[in-house]
Amino acid sequence: MKTDARSEKKPPIILSMQDIIDVVGDGISVQDTQFRILYQNHIHKALEGDHVGEYCYKAYERREQVCDRCHLARSFHDGKIHRTVQSRVTDEGKFYYEIIASPVRDETGTIIAGIESVRDVTERKLMEEKLHDMSMRDDLTGLYNRRGFFTLAEQQIKMARRMKKRILVFSADLDNLKLINDTFGHKEGDFALIEAAGIIKQTVRESDIVARIGGDEFVILQLEDHAGNSEVLTQRLQNNFSRYNVNSDKPFALSVSTGISHCEPASLCSIDELLLQADKVLYEEKRSKRTV
């Protein structure tokens, strides 16, 4: 007598909760309300080490009390799930982890423990940082673009006010870009922009913000150490362009027209106002070059 295979009953697969947790792709730990570690799955142990029986703040942070802004402490306090992303620097580089803290309740609804899951999100965070950086950068020159400049400039203005330093905005337009494009082609025009960006970047300090905010428009923002900064910067920039032209084999020379504006520590200047003032000086210089 044949038996219908479909009628045969397969033995049930029984998995314990620990079996399930152990095959989860995240690091999982369980802590009581005193922050003593009751359980870690193997992934969590691989990330943090085996610390079962220890207090988490001592084991992970080497502290004598609960960490400030502890996500698990917040879950114990309000009974909600809390997420955070933390970074960690090791000998192998910088890593990012998403940590999710969830309360565990007994049958009466009382919180008796907390579950913490840890997921490595380094790849995602690095991609996000790369995309953010790309959105702030000029594709051609690698300098900050207009968006990047305004974003960082607002931060610099706040810092200048705290430090009681003057703000210098230095505008620079590449001369004769249209002539270079029309005469030698846009490839040479792009080359001229890239080289000009390199000269400007070489001229300023590492802490200065340098951006290409338009076709042939560059801008520098720096916190001034003394009132003579602008003159020094202008002279150094012109010297660097002159030195470049002496050593260049191109059939055209590179030069820039410049304009400068300042903001005193006690003044409430905006970036738009500073750029407008610097551009007025720059356009006067351009006009004077055309009449020569």
Lowest pLDDT segment from 131-135, 201-205, 240-244, 287-291? 287-291
Say how far apart CA 100 and CA 225 lie, in whole Å.
46
- Mean pLDDT of the region 28-39: 94
Whether residue 149 is found in the same domain as residue 274: yes
Q: Measured on CA atoms in the order 235, 237, 242, 246, is the torsion positive or negative? A: positive
How many structural domains is the chain composed of?
2
- Is 1 inside a domain boundary? no
Q: What is the largest CA-CA distance in the chain?
A: 111
What confidence tens digit (pLDDT) does each residue in 193-232 have?
999 999 999 999 888 999 999 999 999 999 876 666 788 8
Structure tokens that stand for 45 in this block: 């142990």
Whether residue 146 is found in the same domain as residue 284: yes
Structure-token match 């999982």, residue found: 28
Whether residue 216 is found in the same domain as residue 240: yes
Sequence-distant (≥ 6) Cβ neighbours of residue 45 within 8 angstroms = 27
The band of 18, judged by pLDDT with boundaries at 50, 70 and 90, is low
Percent of all residues in the chain with a pLDDT value above 90, rounded to a whole number: 54
- Is 282 inside a domain boundary? yes
Q: Where are the beta strands (DSSP E) in 148-248?
A: 166-174, 209-212, 217-224
The band of 5, judged by pLDDT with boundaries at 50, 70 and 90, is low
Structure tokens that stand for 95 in this block: 């890593």
Whether residue 156 is found in the same domain as residue 110: no
Residue 253 confidence (pLDDT): 95
Structure tokens that stand for 173 in this block: 């337009």
- For the question of whether the overall pTM of this predicted structure is more than 0.85, the answer is no
Say how far apart CA 285 and CA 278 lie, in whole Å.
11
Whether residue 108 is found in the same domain as residue 148: no
What confidence tens digit (pLDDT) does each residue in 97-114 have?
899 999 999 999 999 999
Mean pLDDT estimate for the chain: 87
Structure tokens that stand for 133 in this block: 């950086």
Say how far apart CA 156 and CA 223 lie, in whole Å.
8
**What is the extent of the structural domain holding 89?**
11-125
What confidence tens digit (pLDDT) does each residue in 117-171 have?
998 888 888 888 887 788 899 999 999 999 999 988 988 888 888 878 889 999 9
Instruction: Pick 125 or 275 by higher pLDDT.
Output: 275
Residue 8 confidence (pLDDT): 60
The band of 68, judged by pLDDT with boundaries at 50, 70 and 90, is confident
Task: Say yes or no to pLDDT of 176 above 90.
Answer: yes
Task: Say yes or no to pLDDT of 13 above 70.
Answer: no
- Mean pLDDT of the region 237-264: 94
Whether residue 62 is found in the same domain as residue 20: yes
Radius of gyration of the chain (CA): 30
Task: Say yes or no to pLDDT of 252 above 70.
Answer: yes
Whether residue 150 is found in the same domain as residue 287: yes
Residue at which a domain ends, from 63, 93, 125:
125
- Mean pLDDT of the region 265-282: 88
